[in-house]
Structure 1
């Protein structure tokens, strides 16, 4: 009897270790399912997703494994048609299966709220500031050893205007206007977000950043891009007929290349930017809809 009991304990312990190890491994794989971490704040969101995947895998594999064990080792014998022993009134079991989900939900809620607070995305009537944790380093950052400026004052301020259906980026330092968003890598950036007409949303999946842009409000939005490359900015809020065309390229480049781009763009004369919404509206036949705003005049049309 003692040997059988010991074997059961060892089997349970081995299964628990295997379940935990497998769940942690699956949670680590979640990082590879996501876009590259192009902003320092990306790590916060990715850690939360990895945590949720790990927890979900643990629950799924645990429940499935228990069911399979019951089906294999506790099935009725061949020809047996009698009912199993009636079990009722197990208060301990009821308390356990009620308390565990409650604690899990509170754990998830607390962790999620902590991430929400750290990222600082707030309501439409509040100014928004990211509070980036010190020393945050991305697994995808290139180069990994590049210093990240974590000072409280932003290095670069860029005005962002959203309108039906175009993005306009203004760089006060050189008085440059562009239809592309250029950013210096590893430098703090502050976007002053404004909407000319309706509700819009700034969303860059590679940055894990999404913020509503409300008419008649200026929302300050801070973050730190860390990975060189070109990414996609899109409108996360339905803003009308041609909202799907409201996209823009986000170019993260070295501070030196960024300054060269600013200097070069400042020498160009403003010209109308290409606008897909305007082109499609001009080709529309008998379709009554809101007319797109005129193409913005920019120094760098992209």
Structure 2
């Protein structure tokens, strides 16, 4: 084997190793780009994102490095204006660069589908049949030490234009702020009173569409105490951006103290930004903008946050 070929092979191997190590390092950095993992299911999504970032970095660096190598070492000499050699094609090469993307797409699809099933997100097929397929559990994640796997808290979630209402059957109380016990399995019964809404908590990596006329059970396990944000991930009308709520994850003791406290409070109308903005617009002497659906009346709850 000629020295030039040996050097080319060594260069190729060294470059591949360098690109692989760099890609893995970039993929690890993806974890720091995301919010804190506040639910046991978070690591499933974070691992998937890290995998996709690693794969994307490897492809980008590989293509870029190949282009730079060709430009530096295989460029035409100065003053050479002749055409390059005529090449009919290489069947082997064409098969390889067709097969590799297909395999990558199947790999990504398989991994993503596995995560989707482990999260237990209700897709269109499940909604049509109104049940989970065999072997799928809502928002399933591998059990963690100190985390109970059985649902111990059941909370009703009512979405409407444009407010969130949370009902706690244990004390028969309601609030516009979602409180959850840490390290305990939670089951939410998601309902919509009007149109399609989306239950989305970025810190939990959980998003579930809420379909009118259907009650969707959704399970997960909060593991990090703190305050987070719930938003409507679906466009549900003019004031959908105001449809947000605080999510408070606290210790089991503090959670039950909070329930006992608000059970002593009389229900009262909660502040509702959508209703306030609509009323302000309706009272203006000159009508501006487009007609919109009248927001639902401010919810009457024991605790408005």
Q: Please confirm whether the aligned pair reaches a TM-score higher than 0.5, indicating the same fold.
A: yes
The question of whether the paired residues in 1 share the 8 Å contact of 2:158 and 2:191 is answered with yes
The aligned residue for residue 298 of structure 1 is 301
Counterparts in 2 of 1:131 and 1:162: CA distance versus 1, 3 Å: closer
Deviations 1:71-130 (A, max 9, x none): 000000111111111112311111111111111111111111111111111224435642
Structure 1 residue 289, shift from structure 2 partner: 2.1
CA contact (8 A) 1:127 1:220 kept: no
Secondary structure of the structure 2 residue equivalent to 1:155: strand
3-state SS, counterpart of residue 66 of structure 1: helix
Is residue 2:263 matched to residue 1:255? no
Residues 1:166 and 2:166 are matched in the alignment: no
Aligned partner of 1:57 in structure 2 is 57
Change (3 A) 1:221 1:127: farther
SS of residue paired to 1:231: strand
Instruction: Give the drift of 1:134.
Output: 2.4
Question: Would you say 1:79 and 2:79 are equivalent positions?
Answer: yes
Shift of 1:29: 0.6
Note the alpha carbon deviations across 1:55-86, whole angstroms, 9 max, x for none.
00000000000000000000001111111111
List alignment gaps of at least 5 residues for structure 1. 137-145
Q: Distance in 1 between matches of 2:294 and 2:97?
A: 57
Cα gap change, 1:266/1:293 in structure 2, threshold over 3 Å: closer, same or farther? Answer: same
1:88-127 maps to which residues of 2 (within 5 A)? 88-122=88-122, 123=124, 124-125=127-128, 126-127=130-131
Contact 2:119 2:141 in 1 (8 A): no
Q: In the alignment, what sits opposite 1:6?
A: 6
Give unpaired runs (5+ residues) of structure 2.
none
Report the alpha carbon displacement of residue 131 of structure 1 after superposing the two structures with TM. Answer: 4.7
1:127–1:218 Cα contact (<8 Å) kept: no
Q: In structure 1, the residue corresponding to 2:138 is in which secondary structure? A: coil
* Change in 2 beyond 3 A, CA 1:127/1:194: farther
Does 114-123 or 254-263 show the bigger shift? 114-123
